Amino acid sequence: MNNKKIVVVADPHLESTQNDVQCMVAFLKTLTPSEYILIFLGDLFHVWVESPQYHTEQVQYLMSELSAFRRQGGGVHLIVGNRDLFFNNISSFSEANHLPFDSVNLDFLTLYFANGIIMAHHGDTVNRKDKRYLIWRKVVRSPLVKYVFNKLPAQKVKTILWDLERKMKQTNIKFKQFFPEDEWTSFVKQVHYAHSPTILLVGHFHPPRPIVTKYASTTGIVVPAWHKAQSYLILDSQLKYQFRSFRLFLQDE
């Protein structure tokens, strides 16, 4: 793993724009799997559920391509975002699991390299002032809610989830109008004191360019969203990062 490059993709929100899944697959095919580790910082799809009974054809398509990426020697890690629902922590890949990820992380992913430690988090708990969202996050991740939803028809679940997403977007709209710089700086410091990572990665906030905050030996980076601009971050084996954008123009079917 120490010789591999790390590709960090934040907030794709797939299935929200035309051909966005095909674009992501095209991007994957530009990577030599044995040379890369993929980290998805959450909100992989606009709204999706862990259980395969709720997976659309487009979700199945991407899961198949990620499985192929892994079989060819690539690493794939998922951090659970606020739109990735009813997932469990998975610490290592198993053929018995239907998800093509080396790990699924409800909170932090930690990867160890010769040149330091990378930690990654979706970023939705950075702003502790957004209390209404934090309550919603706790409720929607509860075992009881997961149990109830697993008893409902797939189409009903999707309708409910999209309705909840629209309502949640309106309830915390004031917190989406600005970047919580003080809360972010505090978050970087807290993670540094607790874990001292070399690189701390979060998504969630959709900045147009990376927001970089250094504290002691930790560099915190808010990664721009893949959604709309196909932006991503790449780190080499020395943990030096570059900001890039993938461009592909697909013909409408």
pLDDT at 74 over 90: yes
How many other CB atoms sit within 10 Å of the CB of residue 46? 18
pLDDT at 35 over 90: yes
Please compute the mean of the pLDDT values over residues 196-215 and round it to a whole number. Answer: 96
Residue 164 token pair: 């909840």
SS3 80: coil
Residue 109 token pair: 């992913």
Quote the pLDDT of residue 70: 95
C-alpha angle 68-118-101 in degrees, rounded to nearest 5: 25
pLDDT digit string (tens) for 128-138? 998 888 888 88
pLDDT at 95 over 60: no
Quote the pLDDT of residue 94: 66
CA–CA distance, 10 with 44 (Å, rounded to integer)? 8
Helices (H), the chain: 20-28, 57-71, 131-140, 143-150, 154-171, 181-195
Please compute the mean of the pLDDT values over residues 209-238 and round it to a whole number. Answer: 96
Name beta bridge partners: 232. Answer: 244
pLDDT digit string (tens) for 181-197? 999 999 999 999 999 99
Instruction: Categorize the per-residue pLDDT at 252 as very low, low, confident or very high, splitting at 50, 70 and 90.
Output: very low
Identity of residue 95: E
Q: What is the pTM of this model?
A: 0.90
Instruction: Categorize the per-residue pLDDT at 213 as very low, low, confident or very high, splitting at 50, 70 and 90.
Output: very high
